[in-house]
Structure 1
Amino acid sequence: MNKLNTRKLIFRLIMIISIIVAAYFIIPVSVPIILAGATAFFLEPIVMFFKRQWKMSRKIAVAFIYIVSVILISIICYFTITQLMSQIILVSKQAPYYISKLSEMWLTMQENISKYTEDFPPEVSASLQNTTMDFIKKIEESFLNFFNYTKVTAFFSEIPSLFISLLVYMIALFLFMLDLPKLKQITYKYLKPSTANKLKIILNRLKDAIFGYMKAHLFVSFIIGGVTLIGLLLIQPKYAVTMTIIIWIIDIIPFLGSIIILAPWALYHLLIGNISIAVKLFILAAILLIIRRVVEPKLMGDHIGLSTLPTLIAMFIGLQLFGVIGLLAGPFVIIFFVALKETGIIKLNFKI
């Protein structure tokens, strides 16, 4: 009997290790398919809503939602690319002006350093000048490294691969949306009724949380878009609408944020001597950052079913441990833990 139990244990360990090893090699190359399956799962309530409200068949409901999603993604990509290209063309046309301004700024800075440090001891004056020169040199090196030929070539060489991944994602998404009920039945067939019920509770909890997160994130992004438009109309009316669209699209992506656009823009104006505009842009960036960090945890907590404090703690600890991925995943780890506790998988009925 002991030998039989030992064999079963060894067999289970081998199976677990085999699954982990297979996942290690398969998951990285299956990201588009995994994302397609996850997207189909979270779009399922919308499909069911259309089926109930408008008495559609599943195929028609899936086709309708899929076509609308593709149209929306295409419109967003089109306007984003066209706006970015127009701004790149505009910047390239004005590049000689910017270069001359930066050269003037550099000469003025050198004159001011010499002027302000002429009464200092020679050692202090030389140290300040060397520090400033090193700082400017590091900025120049960082700029050149960021835009070097190798990185630009590598970026463009990845475009065909990204296009193929996007194509696989779109095809897999449509197929997953069609066959999701069958896939659920196949999965539940291999589970005990109690295990299947627990899995349904956990998945529904996570699904509600993710939908709540998406609604909260989208709502915060609209607030940021409105504040950005008002701020830029007061600061730079000429580029207000275009830059607001770009900032809003960048900000709506969880891993990015408006600071990625506003900080370099403000730094540029600071370098060419437009101190007033630079300060206003920095203030706008700070306001948007405060809105994101103060309003977002409150809305997240309300929409995903956690109070504000646990949401804030989970986002902060996740950010510190795993960066931007942890910032996004932190609240969902707590929700997953709560769902396991609600289903009885984890029991914490103890007293100290």
Structure 2
Amino acid sequence: MGAVYFSRCPITGTRCAAGHGGGRLQIEKMRAFIIRVLFYCIILGLAYAVLKYALPFLMPFLVAFLIAFILKPVINWVTQKTKLGRKPVSVLLLIAFYVLAAALITVLGTRLVIFCRDIFYALPQVYDTVVAPALNSLQDTLENWVMALNPTLTDFVESAGNSLSSSLSSMVTAISTGALSAVTNVAGSVPSFLVKFIITIVASFFFVSDYYAITSFLARQLPQKARDMLFKVKEKGVDVIFKFGRAYAILLSITFVELLIGFSLLRVDYALLIALLTAIVDILPVLGTGTVLIPWAAAMLILGNFPLGIGLLILYAIITVVRQMLEPRVVGKQIGLYPLVTLVCMFVGTYLFGFVGLFGLPIIATVLVQLNQSGDIHLFK
């Protein structure tokens, strides 16, 4: 029989057993910890695989279910007020939703396509009539300065100017050609998009008509404990998404105010409208305010409007710094996540899943933290 020794626990101050029994206890705890870590790693790996590879195939059905979920309160309200059947109300409201969505997309899409087409067709002409003369004027000015300071560098400045002009001309041509190729590629993907769109429409009709029957059937397939957990995740997830939207509305408002003040100080025409459009573009992380401000500033510098060009660059720098400082704090404060954790989730989510991950991973992390705090799960202490 192995000897058992007693020692005083440094944390609680009580006597605890040590020796062979205590060693076995430590081994069991370590084994349980390793098994738990492996389990969570497997779950995370499966979730990543599903989101990365299965999500594109399931997307039409997920979008259809999301539409049904959004329309559910409206359908319930209309059904109660009119005393009509749920199915006819669901179908009529869904038709109205798609008609309005199609009209909005058609109007905005048509204007966007025409706007982009006109810009890309006009790029070579703008270069020949505006940019090239401005570059030649700038080159002549530089040559005169160099001639006055050091005549031996004149040939170098002339060669550099010609090289820059040639590079810009080639770049403009490449942009125009690339834009037309992109339009062709988009046109080629239209059949696939139409198939997915039709599937989404058909699936959404089934979801809105039999929403409660479908969700009840799916819930019955789960054990009671898993069912309760699913309802808690849904409740907390909806709350977090609402707070997430509120956080980005705050960031959008801050960016809009910064742009409006900056444009007003720089005496930009239509400052209010341009500030609003640029702030809306800033919502998209792939684009951001730099998509508007940097090319605008470059064009002003080339055309010789140095105060406006430099002012736009300074404005972009201020907006970028403020956004990087405030985004983790504002989003974290609204959804209850520590700013550093929010920043890590946004970075990792964007790296793994792109635009969806930027918003999705912080939302998932927040739901997990709230479930852990309520004692429903035990991921960490």
Q: TM-score scaled by structure 2?
A: 0.66
Superposed, 1:1-352 pairs within 5 Å as 27-41=55-69, 43=70, 46-47=73-74, 50=77, 58-59=86-87, 60=89, 63-64=92-93, 67=96, 71=100, 74-75=103-104, 78-79=107-108, 81-82=110-111, 85=114, 89=118, 96=125, 98-115=127-144, 139-148=168-177, 149-159=180-190, 161-229=192-260, 231-232=262-263, 235=266, 237-240=268-271, 243-244=274-275, 246-253=277-284, 255-319=286-350, 324-339=355-370, 341=372, 342=374, 344-349=376-381
In the aligned structure 2, how far is the partner of 1:157 from the partner of 1:142? 25
Structure 1 counterpart of 2:140, one-letter code? E
The alpha-carbon distance between structure 1 residues 253 and 213, as it changes in their structure 2 partners (threshold 3 A), is: same
Cα deviation digits, residues 146-180 of structure 1 (max 9, x gap) = 33143332233334544554454344344433333
Structure 2 counterpart of 1:36, one-letter code? A
Cα deviation digits, residues 96-129 of structure 1 (max 9, x gap) = 455322111222343345445555696x887777
Deviation at 1:197? 0.8
Question: Which structure's CA Rg is the greater one?
Answer: 2
SS of structure 2 residue aligned to 1:147: helix
- My pick for the range that moved more, 205-214 or 73-82, is 73-82
SS of structure 1 residue aligned to 2:287: coil
In the aligned structure 2, how far is the partner of 1:302 from the partner of 1:294? 13
Structure 2 counterpart of 1:310, one-letter code? V
In the aligned structure 1, how far is the partner of 2:50 from the partner of 2:145? 65
In the aligned structure 1, how far is the partner of 2:369 from the partner of 2:78? 31
Q: TM-score scaled by structure 1?
A: 0.70
In the aligned structure 1, how far is the partner of 2:111 from the partner of 2:257? 22
Deviation at 1:216? 2.4
Structure 2 counterpart of 1:348, one-letter code? F
SS of structure 1 residue aligned to 2:362: helix
Cα deviation digits, residues 46-82 of structure 1 (max 9, x gap) = 4488469958765537854773575367436624643
The alpha-carbon distance between structure 1 residues 300 and 346, as it changes in their structure 2 partners (threshold 3 A), is: same
In the aligned structure 2, how far is the partner of 1:94 from the partner of 1:333? 44
The alpha-carbon distance between structure 1 residues 121 and 103, as it changes in their structure 2 partners (threshold 3 A), is: closer
In the aligned structure 2, how far is the partner of 1:236 from the partner of 1:113? 29
Structure 2 counterpart of 1:85, one-letter code? I
In the aligned structure 1, how far is the partner of 2:311 from the partner of 2:76? 46
In the aligned structure 1, how far is the partner of 2:359 from the partner of 2:292? 21
SS of structure 2 residue aligned to 1:299: helix
Aligned 8 A contact 1:251 1:257 in 2? yes
When the two chains are superposed, the root-mean-square deviation of aligned CA atoms in Å is: 4.4
The alpha-carbon distance between structure 1 residues 19 and 224, as it changes in their structure 2 partners (threshold 3 A), is: closer
Bigger relative CO (Cα 8 Å, ≥ 6 apart): 1
Aligned 8 A contact 2:252 2:279 in 1? yes
The alpha-carbon distance between structure 1 residues 228 and 72, as it changes in their structure 2 partners (threshold 3 A), is: farther
Mind listing any 5+ residue stretches in structure 2 that lack a counterpart?
1-44
Deviation at 1:191? 1.0
In the aligned structure 2, how far is the partner of 1:189 from the partner of 1:37? 18
In the aligned structure 2, how far is the partner of 1:159 from the partner of 1:327? 27
Deviation at 1:324? 4.7
The alpha-carbon distance between structure 1 residues 188 and 287, as it changes in their structure 2 partners (threshold 3 A), is: same
The alpha-carbon distance between structure 1 residues 213 and 104, as it changes in their structure 2 partners (threshold 3 A), is: same
In the aligned structure 1, how far is the partner of 2:139 from the partner of 2:315? 30
The alpha-carbon distance between structure 1 residues 135 and 158, as it changes in their structure 2 partners (threshold 3 A), is: farther
Mind listing any 5+ residue stretches in structure 1 that lack a counterpart?
1-16
Aligned 8 A contact 2:244 2:334 in 1? yes
Aligned 8 A contact 1:231 1:284 in 2? yes
SS of structure 2 residue aligned to 1:312: helix
Aligned 8 A contact 2:75 2:93 in 1? no
Matching residue of 1:4: none
In the aligned structure 1, how far is the partner of 2:267 from the partner of 2:105? 24
Deviation at 1:307? 4.0
Structure 2 counterpart of 1:147, one-letter code? S
Aligned 8 A contact 1:228 1:284 in 2? yes
In the aligned structure 1, how far is the partner of 2:106 from the partner of 2:123? 26
The alpha-carbon distance between structure 1 residues 24 and 214, as it changes in their structure 2 partners (threshold 3 A), is: closer
Aligned 8 A contact 1:315 1:326 in 2? yes
